[in-house]
Structure 1
Amino acid sequence: MMAEKTISRRTLLTALAGTGTVALIGCDPAGSRQAGAATPIPDTLLVEVDGGLGVLRGGERLTIPHAVAAPDGQAVYATAPDGAGTAFWRIDTATGSASTRVTVPGQWLPQSVSADGTQVALTSNAANATNGRPDGRDVTPVLIADVTGVRHRFELRGNFVPEAFTTDLAGLFVLEWLPARAPDRYRVRVVDLATRAPGPLSTRLKTPVPPGAEEEMRGDGRQAVLAPNRTTLYTLYTHQPDHRHTRDLVSGRPGNAHAFVHTLNLVERWAYCVDLPHPFGEAPASGHAMAISPAGDRLYVLDVTSGHVAEISTEELVVRRTATLPPASGASHAAVGHDRLFVGTGTEVRTLDVERLSAAAGWPVREPVTGLVLSPDGRRLYVGQKNAVSWHDSATGEQLGRVEVPGLVVLHGLAGRA
Structure 2
Amino acid sequence: MTAIPIPRRAVLTMIAGAGVATLAGCRPTRASTPALALPDALLVDLDGGVGVLRGATRRTFARAVASADGQTVYVTAPAGADTAFWAVQPGRDDASPRVVLPGRWVPQVVSAGGTMVALTPEPRAVTDGPPGGRAATPVLVADAGGVRYRLELRGNLVPETFTADLGGLFVLDWLPAAAPDRYRVRLVDLASRTVGPLLTRDKSPVPTGAEEEMRGDGRQAVLAPDKALLYTLYTHQPGHQHTRDLVSGRPGNAHAFVHTLHLEQRWAYCVDLPHPFGESPAASHAMAITPDGGRLFVADVTSGTVAEISTEGLNVTRTGRLAPGAGSAYAATDGRALFVGAGTAVRAIDLAGLNGTAEWTVRDPVAGLVAAPGGGRLYVGQRAAVSWHDPVTGRVLGRVPAPGLVAVRGPAAAG
Q: Is structure 2 residue 84 aligned with structure 1 residue 87?
A: yes
Per-residue deviation, residues 66-96 of structure 1 (Å, max 9, x unmatched)? 0001111101001011012100000102123
1:404 Cα shift?
Answer: 1.2
Larger displacement relative to structure 2 (252-261 or 398-407): 398-407
Unmatched runs of 5 consecutive residues or more in structure 1: none
Aligned to 2:7: 9
Q: Is structure 2 residue 27 aligned with structure 1 residue 32?
A: yes
Q: Return the TM-score normalized by structure 1.
A: 0.95
Larger displacement relative to structure 2 (30-39 or 146-155): 30-39
1:23 Cα shift?
Answer: 10
Aligned to 2:164: 167
CA distance in 2, matches of 1:413, 1:189: 28
Aligned to 2:43: 46
> What letter corresponds to residue 355 of structure 2 in structure 1?
S
Aligned to 1:206: 203
CA distance in 2, matches of 1:89, 1:20: 23
Q: Return the TM-score normalized by structure 2.
A: 0.96
**3-state SS of paired residue (2:39):** strand
Residue in structure 2 matching 1:412, options 395, 409, 413:
409
1:275-290 to 2 correspondence within 5 Å? Answer: 275-290=272-287
Aligned to 1:18: 14
Q: Is the contact made by 2:15 and 2:29 (CA closer than 8 Å) also made in structure 1? A: no
CA distance in 2, matches of 1:89, 1:65: 12
> What letter corresponds to residue 386 of structure 1 in structure 2?
R
1:18-417 to 2 correspondence within 5 Å? Answer: 18-19=14-15, 30-36=25-31, 38-417=35-414
Q: Is the contact made by 1:22 and 1:34 (CA closer than 8 Å) also made in structure 2? A: no
Larger displacement relative to structure 2 (238-247 or 43-52): 43-52
CA distance in 2, matches of 1:8, 1:255: 25
CA distance in 2, matches of 1:303, 1:22: 43
1:131 Cα shift?
Answer: 2.0
Per-residue deviation, residues 326-374 of structure 1 (Å, max 9, x unmatched)? 2111111110112111111111111011011111112111111110001
Q: Is the contact made by 1:9 and 1:131 (CA closer than 8 Å) also made in structure 2? A: no
**3-state SS of paired residue (1:33):** coil
**3-state SS of paired residue (2:85):** strand
Per-residue deviation, residues 273-330 of structure 1 (Å, max 9, x unmatched)? 0000001000001110000011101000011100111000000000000012221111
Per-residue deviation, residues 229-287 of structure 1 (Å, max 9, x unmatched)? 00000000000010010011111111100000000000000000000000100000111
- CA-atom RMSD, angstroms? 1.8
Per-residue deviation, residues 357-406 of structure 1 (Å, max 9, x unmatched)? 11111211111111000111111100001111101111221111111112
1:8 Cα shift?
Answer: 4.2
Q: Is the contact made by 2:3 and 2:221 (CA closer than 8 Å) also made in structure 1? A: no
Larger displacement relative to structure 2 (364-373 or 33-42): 33-42
> What letter corresponds to residue 39 of structure 2 in structure 1?
P
1:18 Cα shift?
Answer: 1.5
Q: Is the contact made by 2:358 and 2:392 (CA closer than 8 Å) also made in structure 1? A: no
CA distance in 2, matches of 1:46, 1:133: 27
> What letter corresponds to residue 18 of structure 1 in structure 2?
M
1:12 Cα shift?
Answer: 4.8
> What letter corresponds to residue 254 of structure 2 in structure 1?
A
CA distance in 1, matches of 2:204, 2:27: 49
> What letter corresponds to residue 251 of structure 1 in structure 2?
S
Q: Percent identity?
A: 61
CA distance in 2, matches of 1:371, 1:119: 26
CA distance in 2, matches of 1:296, 1:246: 25
CA distance in 1, matches of 2:351, 2:198: 34
CA distance in 1, matches of 2:6, 2:391: 22
Larger displacement relative to structure 2 (210-219 or 125-134): 125-134
Q: 1:319 to 1:98 in 2, by over 3 A?
A: same
Q: Is the contact made by 1:12 and 1:53 (CA closer than 8 Å) also made in structure 2? A: no
CA distance in 2, matches of 1:20, 1:379: 25
Q: Alignment length, in residue pairs?
A: 413
Q: 1:5 to 1:304 in 2, by over 3 A?
A: closer
> What letter corresponds to residue 358 of structure 1 in structure 2?
N
Q: Is the contact made by 2:219 and 2:233 (CA closer than 8 Å) also made in structure 1? A: yes
1:5 Cα shift?
Answer: 3.8
